[in-house]
Amino acid sequence: MPPPPAARRYRGTPRNLACLARCLRDGELVAVPTETVYGLAANALDARACRKIFSAKGRPANDPLIVHIHALRDLALIAEPNAAALKLAKKFWPGPLTLVLPKKPVVPTVVSAGRRSVAVRMPAHPLFRRLLKLAGVPLAAPSANPFGYVSPTTATHVQQGLGRKIRHILDGGVARIGLESTIVDLRDPRRPRLLRPGAITRAELEHTLGCVVAWRRQAVTKATSAAQLSPGLLARHYSPKTPVVLHQKIVAAHTQPANEAWVFFAKPPGRRGRNVFWLDPQGGLRGAARRLFSTLRRLDDGRFQKIHVELARGAGLADAINDRLQRAAAR
């Protein structure tokens, strides 16, 4: 049998967007750009369409999807918002924040993986927003990568991972943030819990809510309670094939052997080599977040036996970067 045709890449012209919106309404999958990472979208109200997401990604059926909405008024169609959720939504949407809330019955079981809750986000990427509006339905979308691999931050990454499993990729350039959204469990509004750190920091959430947001940091490195709360938060996730080794600090004189890659956080003074890399020239957190996944992908082409990476220092976005690095390194 001939291999399935390669996915087509679309620029975000009005005509292409109208065509992709029709595909989505017809129950097809479309890979979409978001400000965090690329997503693999389907009509969230169509169980059959959403099942295709799981088979294209090889994703286990117990791992629920995030539902993306165009406007705040769409929230109450799929979830039961509370005052805390509305506070966060008004402050951070559209943006990289996902809220877990009690779900409404219209959301198919396959989307919530049988849970009574649903994860909702209003994305900020202008092309995805236009597509959501044209499609006229909420769109369920996990990251557009084969299950367990590093999330895609460009249309080329999507093509490399899923190019033969899907037919449509909307190209929206390089993802501006580069790490998946912050996820907050707000089922009990008095006891918010951070399920996944992201670009919206715990401190910002606490400031807006005026209360503590719980976070079990160690839970993300071991498959413990957080993984049961949110099965996608398994320890080993976002993993390159090449083993990743983490360091608090890499010493420039120690970047040997040459068949192992050394990724500094900031551009190191002096020593360079074909196995020496950095996440951001100045060591900035935003730049490092944006380049983290593409760097791991680039170094995962078989050239290197190991990928050594320096951890971020500090809290906030540093927590999100280190969370992804710990998952990449988990064996």
Residues of the shown chain interacting with ligand TXA in the complex, contacts defined by CB under 6 A: 34, 36-37, 39, 63-66, 96, 98, 100, 112, 115, 117-119, 121, 141-143, 180-181, 183, 195, 229-233
Which partner, ligand TXA, Mg ion, none, binds residue 63 by CB below 5 to 8 Å per kind?
ligand TXA
Which partner, ligand TXA, Mg ion, none, binds residue 148 by CB below 5 to 8 Å per kind?
none
What beta strand segments (E) does 122-170 contain? 139-140, 168-170
Tell me: cis bond preceding 240? Omega within 30 of 0 counts. Answer: no
Q: How far is CA 217 from the centre of its chain?
A: 18
Q: For residue 268, count other CB atoms closer than 10 A to its CB.
A: 18
- Does residue number 181 form part of the binding site for Mg ion (CB under 5 A)? no
Q: Which among 317, 300, 301, 74 is positioned nearest to 309, based on CA atoms? A: 300
Half-sphere exposure of 15 (CA within 13 A, CB side): 0
Of residues 230 and 295, the one with the C-beta less far from ligand TXA: 230
Give the shortest CB-111-to-ligand TXA separation in angstroms: 8
Give the shortest CB-325-to-Mg ion separation in angstroms: 15
Give the shortest CB-185-to-Mg ion separation in angstroms: 17
Whether residue 103 contacts residue 69, with contact meaning beta carbons closer than 8 Å, is answered with: no
Which partner, Mg ion, ligand TXA, none, binds residue 115 by CB below 5 to 8 Å per kind?
ligand TXA
Q: How far is CA 17 from the centre of its chain?
A: 22
Of residues 198 and 268, the one with the C-beta less far from ligand TXA: 198
Give the shortest CB-326-to-Mg ion separation in angstroms: 15
Of residues 59 and 130, the one with the C-beta less far from Mg ion: 59
Q: Which among 314, 291, 281, 20 is positioned nearest to 177, based on CA atoms? A: 291
- Does residue number 143 form part of the binding site for Mg ion (CB under 5 A)? yes
Beta bridge partners of 307: 244, 261
Give the shortest CB-143-to-Mg ion separation in angstroms: 3
Q: Kindly list the residues in this chain that would bind Mg ion in the complex (CB under 5 A).
A: 143
